Amino acid sequence: MQLLIRSARIVDAASSFDGQVRDILVENGLIRQIGVDLFVEADVRVVEDANLHVSAGWVDMRVTAQDPGYEHKEDLTSVSRAAAAGGFTDIAVLPNTQPVIDAKGTLGYVRRMAEGQPVSIHVIAAVTVKAAGEDFTEMLDLHHAGAVAFSDGHHTLQNPDLFLKTLQYLQPINGLLMNRPEETLLTQFGQMHEGIQSTLLGLKGIPSLAEELMVERDLRLLDYVLGNETTGKEERHSSEPGSQSVKTQVGITAQPVDSILHFSTISTARSVDLIRQAKAQGRPVSCDVAAHQLVFDDSALADFDTNLKVNPPFRLPGDVSALWAGLADGTIDAIVSDHTPQDAESKNLEFDQAEFGITGLETVFAITITHNRDLPLAQLIEKLTSRPRQILRLPAVTIAEGQPASLTLFDPAGTWTYDRTFSKSKNSPFLGQTLTGRVIGTVHHGQFNPTA
């Protein structure tokens, strides 16, 4: 395939062309030439747009693919098409399938089904058998079989001994543990954020404390595993490529390349602050936020719309502001979709009976741009590209001649109406809305995948 991307503004801090408007010629999956007014033969496909931007391919660190086991909600083909439509070239899928991705056989099935898809599918394997929080999986075997990280996905690692030993097992292989912080004994039967709104609506609440206690616990256990060797140091320098100095000044946070503990979908101001402090003290931690958490607070549930029922729940306006601040100062490393497809039978119920989850792959960029609180475009793109790649230990991708062409094309000012979805499920609160931030297509695996 030959493809000419004409007059695109390059958004890639690692590229010498960052911020420049250039033509990009892609040939046989590689970037062959970058320049101005490049000449090509008449039969070369040309992509043009009035406000065309291009970056390295976007990465989503948290996707529920539902395949195997729940293919009526989503399968690996439909989730790949939805991901490509949302501008992603890479997605990391959670192990919460049936059977759970807790053995090489199931992991191998996902990797085989991923072949030929428009996106690269990376597998997050379970820490415990059936993600039940009791017995360890064969993590070393799963690592050698291709797992990019380990997590029980929607289930928090509640047992502190299991958590501690997992960190110890993963250290020698430079593995990553991802944990969604929730003390479930405090959230049983919870439906939404615990506060005035939950009281007015008569719904059992999910307190912020449940998340914050688990963040504190996990950080303490990490200190124990590391022998407190990073705690309390004012500054640590590294000569590793991409490493940054660690400073304790408020608002300046570390971004260690090799995080060994990743907090998934944080939602409260206190969680942001705890992780900010941990990074400032040199702890090898990272975190992400779900895009929809940047848009809604708990007042959005006044109409009992089950498409807005998510876990962690939408918090208070002050928490939303803290999440945006965490993105701006580097505390929050990545923006994820937390794509959780649910069929109509799981959502068209009374609120307290409905399942949690939103389909978000196609709207991550658009809703973040539409509701942006002054986060520069370059920083937003970093949260979708270089930082997720670093955390997951994926090969770096940059826009340079001779490099593999894994690219996302977009118009940050373009408007579009989200009136169709490639997902099998329709549990999105954004369907029918007009949004800003239009994905034009992706270039990946030697193919151009236009959204239109």
Digit-coded pLDDT (tens) for 30-45:
999 999 999 888 889 9
* pLDDT, tens digit (0-9, with 9 covering 90-100), for 126-173: 999 999 999 999 999 999 999 999 999 999 999 999 999 999 999 999
Largest CA distance in the chain: 66
Contact status, residue 173 vs residue 258, Cβ threshold 8 Å: no
Q: Where are the alpha helices (H) located in 289-349, listed in sequence order?
A: 317-328, 344-347
* pLDDT, tens digit (0-9, with 9 covering 90-100), for 80-90: 999 999 999 99
* pLDDT, tens digit (0-9, with 9 covering 90-100), for 367-421: 999 999 999 999 999 999 999 999 999 999 999 999 999 999 999 999 999 999 9
| Residue type present at position 158 | Q
Inter-CA distances, 202 with 47, 161, 298, 426, Å? 53, 37, 13, 27
Residue keyed to tokens 């801090």: 13
Q: Where are the alpha helices (H) located in 299-343, listed in sequence order?
A: 317-328
CB atoms closer than 10 angstroms to residue 220: 12
Q: DSSP for 366-412?
A: HHHHHT--S--HHHHHHHHTHHHHHHHTPPP----TTSB--EEEEEE
User: Nearest Cα to 80, choosing from 403, 262, 341?
Assistant: 341
Whole-number pLDDT of residue 244: 37
Residue 246 has pLDDT above 80, yes or no: no
Whole-number pLDDT of residue 236: 38
Whole-number pLDDT of residue 234: 39
Average pLDDT over residues 433-451: 97
* pLDDT, tens digit (0-9, with 9 covering 90-100), for 290-341: 999 999 999 999 999 999 999 999 999 999 999 999 999 999 999 999 999 9
Whole-number pLDDT of residue 40: 87
* Among 67, 298, 338, 411, the one annotated catalytic: 338
Those residues with Cβ within 8 angstroms of residue 174's Cβ, 6 or more apart along the chain or in another chain:
258, 260, 393
| Residue type present at position 214 | M
Any idea where the domains of the chain sit in the sequence?
A: 57-397+417-431
Annotated catalytic residue 218: no
Residue 248 has pLDDT above 50, yes or no: no
Whole-number pLDDT of residue 229: 52
Yes or no: domain 57-397+417-431 corresponds to CATH 3.20.20.140: yes
Tell me how far apart the alpha carbons of residues 57 and 387 are, in angstroms, rounded to a whole number. 12
H or E element, residue 219? helix 208-226
Q: Is 98 helix (H, G, I), strand (E, B) or coil?
A: coil
Inter-CA distances, 230 with 212, 223, 272, Å? 21, 8, 19
What's 72's DSSP letter? T
pTM of the predicted model as reported, rounded to 2 decimal places:
0.93
pLDDT-derived band at 452, boundaries 50, 70, 90: confident
* pLDDT above 70 as % of the chain: 94
